[in-house]
Structure 1
Amino acid sequence: MSRGDPGRARPEQLLDALDPEQRQVAEHLEGPLVVLAGAGTGKTRAMTHRIAYGAATGALDPRHVLALTFTAKAAGEMRSRLRALGAGTVQARTFHSAALRQLRYFWPRFGEGPFPELMAQKAPMVSRAVQAVGIAPERETVRDVAAEIEYAAVSLLGAEEYGERAGGRDLPAGLDAETMVRVIARYGEIKTERRILDFEDVLLVLAGVLGSREEIAAEVHGQYRSFVVDEFQDVSPLQYDLLRRWLGRRDSLCVVGDPAQTIYTFAGASDRFLRRLPVDFPGAREIRLVRNYRSAEPVIGVANAVLARTARSPIRLRGTDRTGPQPAFAEYEDDAAEAEAVAARIASEVSGGRRAGDIAVLFRTNSQSRLFEEALSARGVPYVLRGGERFFARREVKEAIAIMRAASGRGSTERLDEQVRSILSSVGWTPEAPSAQGAVRERWESLTALVNLAQDSQADTTLPVPLSAFIAELDDRAEHQFAPAVDGVTLASVHAAKGLEWESVHLVGASEGLIPIGYAETADEIDEERRLFYVAVTRARTALSLSWSKGRRGASGSGRRASRFVSEVQAGQRAATTRAAAPAARNRTPAPVKCRVCGRLLTARADRNRGRCGTCPAEVDDAVLEAVVHWRAAKAEEARLPVFLVLAMPTVREIAEKRPEGLDELGRVSGIGPLKLEQYGAELLELVRAHRSD
């Protein structure tokens, strides 16, 4: 796309959309750059605008830029934003996806025979290796051994080198360092015998090839000339080694990270590469992003109180005067009472109009989830357990796609959502959630996610969307592991929640022994637990509650006490209240707002924003609704995006209901954030003016 192409924003437009610090990031296009970005400070926005600005000015060729992330979701979001900014040819991938793509491409040049099989799961091979050294392959043992094997690989440690360092690690139960060395060696032999590569091998083999085959390295250097790396505090020695080989002698590198979100050191990740980058790349510039756009002021206050105590706290977050309720703190007699109370509170949020998908329950260990699953199910509140098997790897998803693929050749005049409902109904899907939990519930959630995705794809047109086009979209999502959203309360460990956010977050089990976890004893281990607590808190956009219990189920009053981090937060809040003795304008009680339909005083923030009770009928302007629906379809086709990534249907309806007259009013519509306001604001206001009925 040329600089004069109307599909690409002008350079000055890209800069106008950024705050002062983000603008500095975008304008720094030559030489190494370190961006220290606090939680919720718009780092993805800064990165994508930097790439787009470089492309618009000619300083960067988007075809030669590689943007690296740690999750498929983050890579998918980055690709979507880059397409919207006119830089859709940029490769945005995870480290593993980028490495695997290159390894497959170059394999015929250096490998023998066909490309090796990729290991889907480590457990079977690890189990064989454990058995080979005379250890019973219990599930927990296999899991912990697999984690140690991964740690050794990403730390660039061979079996013997691992043995020299293993003395200082918490090894799997029943195994000493010598036994672990034998297991790692046998695991490597099994892979060689079976011609199998695991996740870490993909990076290791590619790094080896780039280090030994100059002609292949030169070809890679010619293709990728500029690199952007997200979440740089989480890189491992293996990933950093591969990155240096990708770079070669060049220094066109922008890394973005936050030392205060370093929570994977147990798996080999280290923020030392982020901290020492100016040493490895002399002349590197450092820019700090500190304006938190995600969270309400009370949540930011909690986050800063946590940050004040961590050893890695270069950033103090600044809010944007977003109001919200004060964080809630609650203690319960036992775990069951805590689960019941949290589930009741969530049920109240849902009945009050908050989407279940905008709520999360976060905990330190996965074993804590069961009681919350039971309590939510008892109230009929849908939920999804995050951190399990990848969506597109699930058996029921594979079967559903295979059935739809077979049906796509028959042709149909039905709407896409009707076709998908009919096809999935034939394999047992029902519109109502099953009462059963576990595998039955997870299967229903998977199939429902496919139904909802089909409904979103069909929502903007009266013409039936071909089933073949929907399958092509699913294939693309599967390739990039971009799973559809499931509308249910998220239950997740804090580690699994990294990179996500919700309107309302319930951090449960906030007691000593859980967070910080009981086996965290050293100062470094406690500091990592504090950072984990900080990550949990900063997942909340509006509402935050923290709870704990005095004992296990049926063992109330057994001596548990609130986490030391809770005490630190409460002490920080008291100090802040003392400093702010004079009421600040941002803490004033919002002016009363009445429902424009029934006249009742509105108390919920969502109701005040929409100007009516959630239960009162909306007065939708049909002409505006139709105009925005057609406009959305055209925009989606132009950008080659699913329609829901342009505007979700609830957002379209709210625009037709409110008929905003200015950017400020449009910005208060649910689903219209700063980026969409910048991209579409003028067009949407013109549509409303041209088609409104009065």
Structure 2
Amino acid sequence: MIGQGSPEELLDALDPQQREVALQVSGPLCVRAGAGTGKTRAITYRIAYGNAVGAVDPGTVLAVTFTSKAAAEMAVRLRELGAGRAQAMTFHGAALKQLGYFWPRVTGGPLPNLMPHKAGVVASAASRVGVRADRLVVRDLAAEVEWAKVSMVGPEGYEDYARKMGRTPPADLDLPDFSRFYEAYEQAKSDRNAIDFEDVLLLQCGMLEDREDVARSVRARYRNFVVDEYQDVSPVQQHLLDLWRGERTDICVVGDVAQTIYSFTGASARYLEEFPKRMKGARVVQLVRDYRSTPQVVALANQVVASAKGMDGKSRSPGLPGAVRLQAQRPMGPAVTYDRYDHDLAEAEGIAEKIRGLRQQGVALSEIAVLYRVNAQSEAFEEVFSDAGIPFQVHGGSRFFDREEVKRAILLIRQQARVRTLAGQETSDLVGMVAEVIGTLGWQKKAPATAGAVRDRWANLDALLELARRNPDRSPEQFVSELEERSVSKAAPTVEGVVLSTLHAAKGLEWDAVFLAGLSEGLMPISLATTAEGVEEERRLLYVGITRAREHLCISYSLARSADRKGKRAVSRFLSPMWPRENASRGRWTASGSKPASIGKPKTSDLNKLFLDSADEETRELFEELRQWRLGVSREVGKPAYTILTDAALRGVAEAKPRTLKQLGALRGIGAVKLENWGTPLLRMVRGYLPD
């Protein structure tokens, strides 16, 4: 533990930007922290430093974040730094603690029962207004109620606000129908003398607004606020924060607009963007040193964000306003790999082969993750990994064959097969029979137009139909037997294994090796993203996926869903500018070794323009200096400039900014001869652009 009397030790443990955060112990502070830049370290050391110099009493600090895990981690770090009296909690945890204390004193009675889940009350409300709701429809209805409540919109205002926000209600309800359901939900909750988790925030806001004595008491208890993941705050959370704070300005917010991926739940990055305007005199500090990922991973992440069009998807200038440009601090690592496969199963097999290679290199399976856009994509990986003997675990959800709709479908297929057998009917059309059965569970040829649990169910049932299509000559009995065998083989729990996860569920996590799979148009961005804002949120989701990787990053997509389908898919628009088209002629794109159709090689001038448009000022300056140096060398030796070093090699040097000859030699286009001839002058030029 670093003692309270050691402020110098605390500051010495931080980089220059983190130190700026720690040194400002009072007043408004906005920390724009890129992925892997040590934001938790910066804010916990800030609290500890304020305590060490006697400027902040940790007992008056409330640090709020969004998950219990993050709050627990923050609390542990604060204790280790001698500031354990500071409170680290979630918004809901802090509000519930306050509500539980003040409610009996204000109302004279006990706090209503807090419902652990909404499902029962949602189902009851749906029944009251004549809405048929199974388990997944209930989940979607509950999610829409949560969005309305965190947006501080009640049943009476839902229709107008949802129309303004372009919101489509779930379960094929129109806006008036959902308003009626929402009202029925609130009434059903009242009948049970119950509140939900969103009510905790709303009720505490109401109490702070209506009772000045309660507000004075809370503000006397907490005088200094820290908010982590500030890009994810909702309107009701921001309102509660304002009520907690009152007129005080001792508040530090930390976030990254490039990681705003929960707008569909009511989160809004505008509070982070507008913080310096709202809080007069606020200081803005950027954390840009990325300690997590290699320069190769960081370079790709920067390129993806540099092409963004802002939160509204309409900005004319490239780049995401408020986003930081990361500066890699780790040594050079392996190049990012790009692979195109013939179909989904080939993609899963190709990734399995690469995982075996990483395992042989000593990478632990638990340090490998396969990330994808939607849950249904896990099926192919579960199948291939099981057959290959690669242990895995599905993060944030159940395995494919454990999903309720899949189990129900298999049961119905088995029953249908038995009925037809007893009736003496031969079933030659397995695919047609499976489609008929899953149709009774809500599947239809056209995917639902809205996101949510109903869309997930459709995708899982459609994946089951795809399994039937792979070998349509099987009998229904053979198909069911195969499904049951696969289900049993994948049922055993695994402790050490590759992580399978959606991109959303991966936020906040990191691994040594990350495979980003299925990055084709329609999945990234997903076809449901029909607005400019939605497309830009998909870009930020890809950025989150890229920045989960510490060292190995492998990006892939497939041309078709299955081997018997025509390959029509195209790579994601977010990746097409940097996709290595020159590799097409070398057959590196497919697991089977087959070459894709010929693709024209982009012009060097186009690549340079793209690079300069997305690069920061220092990188652009270094690139130009390198080109001027190369021009001088070419004139001196009487050879064309490209024979000295290609533009691609110079772009790589400017982006990666290698510190050593070994790092320089790892770059594409810098062979042993060029390293010997030009390594020293190149490093000398780069040295002038390295951070202190």
Do Structure 1 and Structure 2 share a fold, with TM-score over 0.5?
Answer: yes
Q: Is residue 517 of structure 2 the alignment partner of residue 516 of structure 1? A: no
Give the match's secondary structure for 2:504. Answer: helix
Offset of 1:440 from its aligned partner?
9.8
Paired residue for 1:193? 191
SS of the aligned residue for 2:291 comes to coil
Equivalent residue for 2:150? 154
Find the residue that maps to 2:253 and give its secondary structure: strand
What's the counterpart of residue 104 of structure 2?
108
Structure 1 vs Structure 2: percent identity of aligned residues? 49
CA contact (8 A) 1:333 1:557 kept: no
Among 21, 34, 38, the residue aligned to 1:38 = 34
The alpha-carbon distance between structure 1 residues 545 and 179, as it changes in their structure 2 partners (threshold 3 A), is same
Partner of 1:394: none
Change (3 A) 1:530 1:582: closer
Aligned 1:28-67 pairs, distance under 5 A: 28-67=24-63
- The offset of 1:6, in angstroms, is 7.3
Cα contact 2:153–2:161 (8 A) shared by 1: no
Query: Among residues 160, 173, 176, which one is paired with 1:175 in the alignment?
Result: 173
| 1:335 aligns with one of 344, 358, 365 | 344
1:531 Cα deviation after fit? 0.7
Structure 1, unaligned runs of 5 or more: 390-434, 446-485, 593-694
Q: Which of 638, 647, 650 is the matching residue for 1:579? A: 650
Q: Which amino acid aligns with 1:280?
A: R
Conservation of the 8 A alpha-carbon contact between 2:658 and 2:664: no
CA separation in 2, counterparts of 1:442 and 1:214? 56
Amino acid at match of 2:265: A
Distance 1:374 1:586, change over 3 A: farther
Q: How far 1:343 sits from its partner (Å)?
A: 2.2
Q: Structure 1 pair 248/363, CA: closer, same or farther in 2 (3 Å)?
A: same
Residue deviations 1:87-133 (CA, integer Å, cap 9, x gap): 11111111111111222222221245433322222222222222222
2: CA distance, partners of 1:236 / 1:41: 24
Contact 2:2 2:80 (8 Å CA) reproduced: no
Q: Cα distance, 1:374 vs. partner?
A: 2.1
Maintained 8 Å contact 2:231/2:272 = yes
CA distance in 2, matches of 1:582, 1:245: 50
1:493 aligns with 2:502: yes
| Cα displacement (A) at 1:323 | 1.5
For residues 36-71 of structure 1, give each alpha carbon's deviation from its aligned partner in whole angstroms, at most 9, with x where no partner exists.
Answer: 111111111110110000010111101110111111
Does the 8 Å CA contact 2:155/2:179 hold for their aligned counterparts?
A: yes
Counterpart mapping for 1:375-524 below 5 A? 375-388=384-397, 444-445=493-494, 487-524=496-533
- Equivalent in the alignment of 1:90: 86
Name the CA distance, whole Å, in 2 between partners of 1:340 and 1:112. 64
1:231 equivalent to 2:302? Answer: no
What does 1:5-404 align with in structure 2 at a 5 Å threshold? 7-8=3-4, 10-111=6-107, 113-167=109-163, 168-310=166-308, 311=310, 312-313=320-321, 314-388=323-397
Residues in 2 aligned to 1:374 and 1:440: alpha-carbon distance in whole angstroms: 9
Q: Secondary structure at the match of 1:189?
A: helix
Shift of 1:591: 12
User: Alpha-carbon deviation of 1:499?
Assistant: 1.0
**TM-score computed with the length of structure 2 as normaliser:** 0.69
Does structure 1 retain, via aligned residues, the 8 Å contact 2:338–2:579? no
Match of residue 528 from structure 1: 537
Residue 334 of structure 1 aligns with an amino acid whose one-letter code is H
CA distance in 1, matches of 2:290, 2:248: 33
* Segment of structure 1 superposing worse, 110-119 or 238-247: 110-119
Report SS of the residue matched to 1:565: coil
1:293-321 Cα shifts (integer Å, max 9, x gaps): 11000000100110111122431111114
- 1:439: Cα distance to partner? 9.9
Q: Which amino acid counterpart does residue 192 of structure 2 have in structure 1?
A: R
Q: Which residue of 1 aligns with 2:470?
A: none
Deviations 1:623-647 (A, max 9, x none): xxxxxxxxxxxxxxxxxxxxxxxxx
The one-letter code sitting in structure 2 at the alignment partner of 1:210 is L
For the Cα contact (< 8 Å) 2:63–2:226, is it kept in 1? yes
Question: Structure 2 vs 1, CA of residues 139 and 555 (structure 1 numbering), >3 Å: closer, same or farther?
Answer: farther
2:577 and 2:72 mapped to 1: Cα distance?
A: 37
SS of match in other structure, 1:559: coil
Query: In the TM superposition, what whole-angstrom CA distance separates every residue of 1:5-45 from its partner, at most 9, and x where no partner exists?
Result: 97436001101111111111100112110011111111111
SS in 2 for 1:497: coil
Q: Equivalent residue for 1:455?
A: none
CA pair 115-378 structure 1, distance change in 2 beyond 3 A: farther
Match of 1:551 in 2: 560
What residue identity is the alignment partner of 1:503? Answer: D
The answer on whether the counterparts of 1:9 and 1:85 sit within 8 Å (CA) in structure 2 is no
1:438 Cα deviation (Å)? 6.9
Alignment TM-score, normalising by the size of structure 1: 0.69
Equivalent position SS for 1:121? coil
Q: Secondary structure at the match of 1:580?
A: helix
**Alignment check: 8 A CA contact 1:31 1:253 kept:** yes
Q: Distance in 1 between matches of 2:101 and 2:366?
A: 40
SS at match of 2:249: coil
What amino acid maps onto 2:296 in structure 1?
Answer: P
Q: Which one-letter code corresponds to 1:160 in the other structure?
A: E
**Residues 128, 52 of structure 1: alpha-carbon distance in 2 compared, 3 angstrom cutoff:** same
Cα distance, 1:157–1:591 mapped onto 2, change above 3 Å: closer
Q: Give the Cα separation in 1 of the matches to 2:489 and 2:387.
A: 16
Change (3 A) 1:27 1:126: same
What code does the residue aligned with 1:37 have? A
Number of equivalent positions = 503
User: Residues 261-298 of structure 1, C-alpha deviation per residue, up to 9 Å, x if partnerless?
Assistant: 11111111001111122232211111111111110000
Instruction: Judge conservation of contact 1:306–1:569 (CA < 8 Å) in 2.
Output: no
Structure 2 distance, partners of 1:224, 1:442, is 49
- The offset of 1:442, in angstroms, is 7.3
Unaligned runs of 5+ in 2: 311-319, 399-483, 581-606, 612-646, 666-692
8 Å Cα contact 1:82-1:88 kept in structure 2: yes
Letter aligned with residue 154 of structure 1 = V
Out of 13-22 and 115-124, give the one that drifted further. 115-124
- Pick closer, same or farther for the CA change 1:16–1:147 going to 2, 3 Å: same
TM superposition shift of 1:348: 3.0
Tell me the C-alpha RMSD between the 2 structures.
Answer: 2.5
Secondary structure in structure 2 of the residue aligned to 1:521: coil
C-alpha distance in structure 1 between counterparts of 2:107 and 2:367, whole Å: 48
Q: 1:488 to 1:104 in 2, by over 3 A?
A: farther
Q: What SS does structure 1 have at the residue aligned with 2:136?
A: helix
Task: Summarize the alignment of residues 620-639 of structure 1 with structure 2, pairs less than 5 Å apart.
Answer: none
2:578 equivalent among 554, 569, 572: 569
- 1:647-687 Cα offsets, whole Å, 9 max, x none, are xxxxxxxxxxxxxxxxxxxxxxxxxxxxxxxxxxxxxxxxx
Q: 1:500 to 1:119 in 2, by over 3 A?
A: same
